[in-house]
Amino acid sequence: MVEQHVEEPAHPEQEQAPYEPNPRRWRILGVSLVVGFMSLLDVSIVNVAIPSMSAGLDASEATIQWVVSGYALAFGLTLVAGGRLGDAYGRRTMMLIGLTGFVASSAFVGFAPSAGTVVLARLLQGASAGLLTPQNSGLIQQLFRGRERGKAFGFFGLTVSIASATGPVIGGLIIALAGTENGWRWLFLINVPIGLVAFAAIWFMVPRTPAAERTGDARIDVLGSVLLGATVICLLLPVVSLENGSVLPMLLLVGVPAFGWAFVRWEARQVRTGRPPLLDLRLLRHLPGYVNGMAVGALYFTGFTGLMLVASLHLQDGLGYSALQAGLMMAPFAVGSAVAAPLAGRVVTDVGRKLTVGALSLMITGTVLIAIVVPLATPIWAWLPPVLLLTGLGAGAVVSPNITLTLQEVPPEMGGAAGGALQTGQRIGASIGAALAVSVYTLVAGATSSALGLSTALAAEIVLLLAALAMAVRAWRR
């Protein structure tokens, strides 16, 4: 009876508003994905820039990795708020506001005089991206149904995969053209002209949402955001501090269960009092597919982000490759992802969770091969690209099917907030995964060798990917 009481208010609205396909839905999706690509690209494009940024700003790699982790963290903590604001005020409005902040903060990063300023600007940039990205899944939930929705999420998964995988290639190319000393600045300055063109495209192509069709509560759960952020920082800061062996930040680990418990209790109170929570616990309690999908996505991104980051560090710091050479060496991963993502989106409605299980298994196999063979095989350029291609094929078939299957039971009027919560787990996982992988790599490589550092870091990432596989199998069996 409780389950019926919770779910009934959402579904009658869905039945009262029959689905009518928007004739411009594919054009709208195209504009949305271009903007999404730009914000997601900035997660991975700095992977090959860490060595040059360390030299140019005279900062340690542990400090510079906050450029990666800080962006992903701020990105993740604003996603749910961005999704809810999109539900309440319209996707177009939030896309324009988010893009304005993203372009301004990108310029701020490009001209930043110090490492501390870069980190601050990246936090602002990540927060702006958090307003942009949930509008993608929200628009797909509203504009598409059935097989078309799976196909649309397939394109979204393709965007995520290509943005993640081609970032190192694009970053290496820009640094090669602009120079190693200040070339990293152009990784961010290039967002300014592209962002201005995207702003015009949104203004003219994405329609306003009529007031009668806007749903959701615009109030933001500020305390819930603070508690979740405190939980993640208490976990993230000790991980980042592994490199220098500092003991004091380790004490923050005590705050993880404390703030986590407080977050859950506060969110439950928000629901009881009729106020909008950061994460509606009813989704977790009554939609098991949503819960499992969130876990799969968070664990996958925790493992995936670290894989590409430490591979880039090994190629540059350990083997002496340039940023461009390192990016090109990892390009087969992007090719595999680009091939697999749209194909997976087309068949996910027929195959179901078996697709996610198979894709994760393939990716884990490729990652294990890299971890085992790195210290042994030479030359690396002969065997690493085909193994990365295999790994990319698996990775590309994880993201879009998981998003489709996770959100398929969620009412469209909750699509923005639910999609934002799903991507919050992914972005927080990415920030933790980046910090963990770089810290393990730096610690082991400094004491032994770069190759062993890479293998050890990948071993930690494999454990996380195996956990994602276990959750996918659990969802499949249920």
Q: Which two tokens stand for residue 183?
A: 């070339």
For residue 360, is it within any domain? yes
CB 334 within 8 A of CB 323: no
For residue 29, is it within any domain? yes
Q: What is the separation, in whole angstroms, between the first and last Cα of the chain?
A: 21
Domain count, the chain: 1
CB 294 within 8 A of CB 421: yes
How confident is the model at residue 8, as a pLDDT? 39
For residue 311, is it within any domain? yes
CB 232 within 8 A of CB 432: yes
Boundaries of domain holding 42 = 24-208+222-477
Assign 3-state DSSP to the chain and report helix, strand, coil percentages, each to 5.
Answer: 85, 0, 15
Q: On the CB side of 110, how many CA atoms lie within 13 Å of its CA?
A: 16
**For residue 221, which of 252, 254, 262 has the smallest C-alpha distance?**
262
Q: What is the largest CA-CA distance in the chain?
A: 65
- H or E segment to which residue 96 belongs: helix 91-110
Q: What are the Cα distances from residue 469, in Å, to 255, 342, 365?
A: 28, 21, 12
CB 411 within 8 A of CB 125: no
DSSP H stretches of helix in 179-276: 186-189, 191-205, 222-240, 255-272
Q: What are the Cα distances from residue 234, in Å, to 116, 227, 241, 250, 435?
A: 20, 11, 11, 9, 13
For residue 6, is it within any domain? no
For residue 186, is it within any domain? yes
CATH of the domain at 138: 1.20.1250.20
Q: What are the Cα distances from residue 462, in Å, to 64, 88, 305, 314?
A: 24, 40, 12, 17
CB 156 within 8 A of CB 134: no
For residue 13, is it within any domain? no
For residue 401, is it within any domain? yes
How confident is the model at residue 458, as a pLDDT? 92
- The stretches in the chain having pLDDT less than 70 are 1-19, 61-62, 165, 209-218, 240-248, 283-286, 377, 411-417, 420
For residue 2, is it within any domain? no
- H or E segment to which residue 380 belongs: helix 380-407
From the centroid of its chain, how far is CA 377? 32
Q: Which two tokens stand for residue 238?
A: 């000790």
